[in-house]
Structures are given as structure tokens and as C-alpha cells.
Amino acid sequence: MEPLTTNCVALAALLVAPVALWAGPARLGPHDRWLLVSVLGSGGTRLAASVLGARSTNRRGAGAGRLRVAVRGGAYFAASCVALHVLTVLFGAPVLELATDTFLFALLLATYTALPCLCLRGPNLTRWVHLLVGSWHGTPSERATRVVIMGSLSGAWLGAFPIPLDWDRPWQQWPITCTVGATLGHGLGLLGACALLLAGRGKPRHTKKPI
């Protein structure tokens, strides 16, 4: 799949996800349902795009190698979930109470940030860091991914601000504002990424470095 298409599909998945607020198993709360659908939609799109892309270019080689990459990728994703959970707690989330919600938030954030890294750069931490703090130059898809990641992170950051206000609304409870903020930021990031990719279309493409 083209990166542009991937971003558009991911955006569509985010837009559709709020349907889960009204439908789905009643055992989970509406927020949890929505969150899980968002995670599945966004993550599924990314994964599908990555798998399709790998199959079309077929540069991964044999099945065993692909499996190893998949396993390592899964481990990296799980580790980034845990790392984001720890970071969230360090930033002030409660340690023990609401731990499930905190973890769900970390899962959502990992889907919005770590998964794009994983799909673009594979399971390699140094490359992730390069992607995150690298210079502004790079291939359009790198720039697009960086916009998406930064959007999600700053959305989650901004989402923490309504929590202490004395409005006494049920949605001020941790982590609802942060998940919503992260999703909004992610959506804006996807829009920005689409715009970047569209703008970069006319220009001659950089030669892609082998990953």
C-alpha cells in the first residue's frame, strides 16, 4: 500500500471508531470499547499496510526470516507498551489504582507512536531514535511518520490539562482526556502527513535506503 493510502485509511478508522461508544459488549465501558476499536483500527491498518508492502516488494526473504522479524516486532511493541506505561506513571499517573486504564492508555499511545516506527523502520531501537530526533530532511514517508508521532504525543500531553479543573464532569477522569487528546493529535498528525505526502508527490523521490 502507498503511505498516502495507509494514512487515509488510518484516519478513516479513527473517524469510524466512535461508533463503539453506542454499540458493543456492555461489559466494557463505552470508553474502553472506543479505545480498543481505535487501537484495532489504527494498528490493523498499519500492520496490513506493512505486510502488503513487504509482500509486494518481497525483500524480506524466506518465511523463517519474516517470522523472526514478526516475533521481534511483537516483543518491541510489548516493550514499548510497558515503557510508555512506566513513563505515564512517572509523569504523574496513579501507580496502583486505575492501572488497567493506564495500561490501555499506554497501549493506545504505543499503537499511535511505536507501531508506525516499527512498520517503517523494523525492530531496531537506534533507527527509531533516528526517526524521532533526526533532522527535518528525509524521505516523505519518514517526515509523515514523524508528524504523526509528534502529533499523538503532544495531543496526549495537552490532554492532561483539563483533568485538574473543577468542572466536575465525568469525562475529566484519568485517562479519558488523554486518550481523546492523543487520538485528536493523531488524527491531526495523519491529516498533516497526508498533506505532506500529497505535497511531496510532485517532487522526484529520494532514493530509498535499504532498511
Partner 1 sequence: MPIISGPKCTWLLLFCLCLLYLTGIWLFSEGFLLRRTELPLNSTCGDFTTEVSEHARGSCWLRPRFRKVVWVIVDALRVDFAFEAPVDRPARSYEGRLGVLRRALAEEPQKSRLFHAHADPPTTTMQRLKALTTGGLPTFVDAGSSFSSARIAEDNLILQLHGHGRKAVFLGDDTWMNLFPSCFHRARPFPSFNVRDLHTVDNGIIRHLYDEVAKDDWDVIIAHFLGVDHVGHRLGPLHPAMADKLNQMNDILGRLLAVLPPETLLLFMGDHGMTETGDHGGESESEVSAALFVYSTEPLFSKTLASEPRRLYQVDLVPSLALLLGLPIPYSNLGAVIPELFGWQDSQAMPTKPQEYILPLEALHLNALQVSRFITTYAAQHREFSAETLLKLNRALLEAQALYHSARSAMGSWNSTHETNVAIAAYQRYLYDVRKMCEAGWASFNIPMMVAGICTIGAACLWSALLAWGGHQHSHVFYSNLLKVFLGFGIAGAIGVTFLSALFGTALHDLPFHAAYGLTLSSGILLGYKAFYLSWPFLVGSMGRTIFGVNGVVSALAGPGLWLVRCLSLFSNSFILLEGQLVGFLFQSSLILIVLDAAHVCFHSTSLSAPQKQRALRVVVSVAIAALACTRTAAMFCICREELPACQPSSLLVPLPSGSVRTLHYGAAIISTTVICWTIRRFLVLHGTFKAFASPPILLVRYGFPVVAVCLGGHWGLELMSGERQATAMPRWVADIFPRIIFVLLSGGMLLTLWKPLALYTLRRKDSSEDLLTFHEATFPASQDRIREVVPRIYRSLKRDLSRSLKANHNGVQIEESSSETKLEVYGLGAPYSVVLSVFVGILIMLTALLHTPGTAPAFLLLFASMVALLELVAALSAASPDSSDARRVPLLSVVAWILASTRFFYSTGHQPTFPALQWNAAFVGFHGDHSTNMLPGLLVVMNTFSSQAIFAVALPLLLTWPFMRGVWDGDWLAVGRKGQTVNGLVNEQRESEPKMEMGLRDQPGGLSVALLRLAASFLLLQGLQLLACMLAAAWLRRHLMVWGIFAPRFLFEATGFMVSSFWLLLSVALVLHTDTRLTVWLQHLNSGFPR
Alpha-carbon span 165 to 67, nearest angstrom: 48
CB atoms within 10 A of CB 141: 23
Name the nearest CA neighbour of 49 among 112, 110, 5.
Answer: 5
Residue at grid coordinates 486518550: 179
98, three cell numbers: 486505575
Nearest distance in Å: CB 123, partner 1: 16
Upper half-sphere CA count for residue 57 (Cβ side, 13 Å): 12
Peptide bond into 175 cis (omega under 30): yes
Contact region with partner 1 (CB under 8 A), list: 4-12, 68-76, 130-138, 175-183: 130-138
Phi and psi at 180, nearest 5°, equal: -65, -45
Q: How far is the CB of 165 from partner 1 (least distance, A)?
A: 5
Residue carrying C-alpha cell 535499504: 210
Binding partner 1 (rule: CB under 8 A), the pick from 15, 23, 165, 211 is 165
CB of 31 to partner 1, least distance (A): 22
Asked whether 145 and 128 are in contact (CB, 8 A), the reply is: no
Q: Using the rule CB under 8 A, is 132 a contact of partner 1? A: yes
Helix (H) or strand (E) holding 143: helix 140-159
- Looking at beta carbons only, is 52 or 82 nearer to partner 1? 82
- Residue in 26, 62, 64, 133 binding partner 1, rule: CB under 8 A: 133
Residue window 69-108: x/- pattern of binding to partner 1, with contact defined by CB under 8 A: ------------------x-xxxx----------------
Q: Which of 168, 170, 207, 208 forms a contact with partner 1 (CB under 8 A)?
A: 168
Q: What does the block give as the cell for 190?
A: 495523519
Site string for partner 1, 109-128 (x = CB under 8 A): -----------------x--
By C-beta, is 63 or 164 nearer to partner 1? 164
Specify the DSSP element, H or E, that contains 204: none
What is the residue whose three cell numbers read 509482500? Answer: 55
Which stretch of DSSP H or E encloses residue 210? none
Q: Which is nearer to partner 1, 15 or 83 (CB)?
A: 83
Stretch that binds partner 1, among 49-57, 69-77, 101-109, 162-170 (CB under 8 A): 162-170
Closer Cβ to partner 1, 9 or 178, answer by number = 178
Chain residues in the site for partner 1 (CB under 8 A)? 87, 89-92, 126, 129-130, 132-135, 157, 160, 164-166, 168
